[in-house]
A and B are shown apart, each in its own frame.
Chain A
């Protein structure tokens, strides 16, 4: 499956969100950076990183950053990942970013996403600047040594290349139909 690599242009998408509105990548064209995060409800890795993503969105919103979460899992085999359950999760956790449903799994395939969570950080021009894990410790936020996404955001917002452009995402496999 082809995968976006740093430097490649983003793949446009339009998907339904848990707010019952459609969300297109183009809707965020005025943002300084967009973090597309493939995630889901059931995966413990995705759940372990949720609070950190909420914190990152809160900390960087004022600087023009938008995270966009997308779940592409097969909800028939994994009912916890259904759209209604996505709505519940978003409300329960207070997601401060859109949570979109890629039911056909086309967007996940187009990005080459394989795991949850898996980050694709885009700059204002739509180029991929960082791909991979949120940070280096899924288990203990206090033990994180490398804040990959935060560091990449700081670099992009500062007009610099991220020192680390790509890491191996750590998490559950995307559950393909």
Chain B
């Protein structure tokens, strides 16, 4: 399983988001290294298909696939299970993505 974490430094949620990702991974017994990428330019945002900070991908799949592909250096808005907007993905969003990837056949 490959876990990627992409962030934009000017968005203050990335430290807490990475911590949350690490905690949920540990709870799920997943100890693979997280690939961390700092997205610094608009060109990088386009190359990395970065729709905002933080973006978490498991085996290349966004844990919350964005409806619109607009690549920007900005904070990302996640809609939580209770319909609130948050700069952070929920633990459940992360957990669902990890469990789904764990069930998927390799290759």
* Chain A interfacial positions (CB closer than 8 Å to B): 42-45, 47-48, 77-78, 138-139, 170-173, 175
Top 9 nearest A-B pairs (CB, nearest first) are A44-B77, A44-B87, A47-B85, A172-B75, A173-B10, A44-B75, A48-B85, A44-B85, A139-B86
Q: How far is the CA of A139 from the CA of B12 in the complex (A)?
A: 13
| Interface residues of B, count at CB 8 A | 15
CB distance from B100 to the nearest CB of A (A): 24
Number of A-B contacts (CB under 8 A): 39
Contacts of A170 in B (CB 8 A): 12
The secondary structure that dominates the A interface is loop
Q: 17 other contacts beyond A45-B87, A139-B88, A170-B12, with CB at 8 A cut-off?
A: A43-B74, A43-B75, A44-B13, A44-B76, A44-B87, A45-B75, A47-B77, A48-B84, A48-B87, A77-B72, A78-B74, A138-B86, A139-B86, A171-B12, A172-B10, A172-B75, A175-B74
Instruction: Supply 18 A–B pairs (Cβ within 8 Å), ascending by A.
Output: A43-B77, A44-B13, A44-B76, A44-B78, A47-B77, A48-B85, A48-B86, A77-B72, A78-B72, A78-B74, A138-B86, A171-B12, A171-B75, A172-B10, A172-B74, A172-B75, A173-B10, A173-B11
* Chain B interfacial positions (CB closer than 8 Å to A): 10-13, 72, 74-78, 84-88
Q: How far is the CA of A85 from the CA of B107 in the complex (A)?
A: 43
